Amino acid sequence: MELTDFKVLSFDCYGTLIDWESGIWEALQPTIAVAANKLGREAALEVFARHESAQESANPAMVYSELLSVVHAHMAQELGTPADSARDKAFGQSVPHWPAFADSAKSLAYLKQHYKLVILSNVDRASFKASNKKLGVEFDAIYTAEDIGSYKPDPRNFAYLIEHLKADLGFDAKDDLHTAQSLFHDHVPAEKAGLARAWIDRRQGQAGGGATVALAERPPVDFYFPSLAAFVDAHKLLI
C-alpha cells in the first residue's frame, strides 16, 4: 500500500489541521483564572475530553457551538467555578479563534494538486467556515456533525462519508485514505468502516489522549506521520 494508491483524503479537522488543544486551553483561561481547583494544561484537556465525549453521545443532534457551551458549564462546575452563562457562551463560540497548525495550509495546498480533499468533522458549519479561512484551501466536500446528526466515533458518520463520497464525488471507500489525529474519534471507527487510515500524530511524545479520550491500546493504522508536512514529504518521494 502506497500513498499514491488513493484518490481522496478525508480529513478530521480539529486536532489534525486546527490546533484545537491550544485553542481550547486559551479559551479556558478566564475559567481557569477563577477556578477553585487549579489545573494545568494536560489535566484540563483530559477533563474537556471526558465531558465533550459524554455530551456528544448524549446530544448527537446538538450544534457543536452549543454543545461546547454545555461542556464548559460542566467543566466549570467540576473546577469549582461559579456558574457564568457568558463564559459558557464565549467558550462555545471560541472555535473560530483556534489556530491552524503551522504546516496545515501549505501542506493542504500541495495535497490539493494530487487528491480530492474532504472534511469529516465533529463541528457545525459556521464554526468550520471560520476555521477554513485559516487553512486556505477549497475542500471538495465538507461533512459535519451538523449535517449528519451525530458525532464521531458514531459509525453513522463514517457510513455517511462513504455514501457521500460515492454520491457526491463518484469515489468508492477504497479510493479514500482517512487522515486524522484522534485515535478515539477517527481511527477506531474508520477501521471498522473498512477505510485505510493515516495517523497524523500531533501529540507525539506526550502521554495520554489530550483533548480526546485516551485508549488502552492503539488501533492499527496504515500510515504514520508526526505531522502533515511529513505526509507531504513522503508523498513527494513517490512521484
Which candidate, 118, 146, 135, places its Cα nearest to that of 59? 146
Q: State the pLDDT at residue 116.
A: 98
**Residue 12 annotated as catalytic:** yes
Query: Which amino acid is it at 177?
Result: L
**Predicted TM-score of the model (pTM):** 0.95
Beta bridge partners of 9: 117, 177
Question: Where are any strands of DSSP class E within 5-85?
Answer: 8-11
> Which residue of the set 5, 12, 88, 154 is catalytic?
12
Sequence ranges of the chain with CATH classification 1.10.150.750? 21-97
For the domain bounded by 21-97, which CATH number is listed? 1.10.150.750
| Portions of the chain given CATH number 3.40.50.1000 | 3-19+98-236
The residue whose grid cell reads 511524545 is 205
CB–CB of 4/169 below 8 Å?
A: no
The CATH superfamily holding the domain 3-19+98-236 is HAD superfamily/HAD-like (3.40.50.1000)
What is the Cα–Cα distance from 93 to 100, expressed in whole angstroms? Answer: 16
pLDDT, tens digit (0-9, with 9 covering 90-100), for 131-152: 999 999 999 999 999 999 999 9
- What sign does the dihedral 102-106-110-111 (CA atoms) show? positive
Residues of the chain falling short of pLDDT 50: none
At residue 38, the pLDDT reads 83
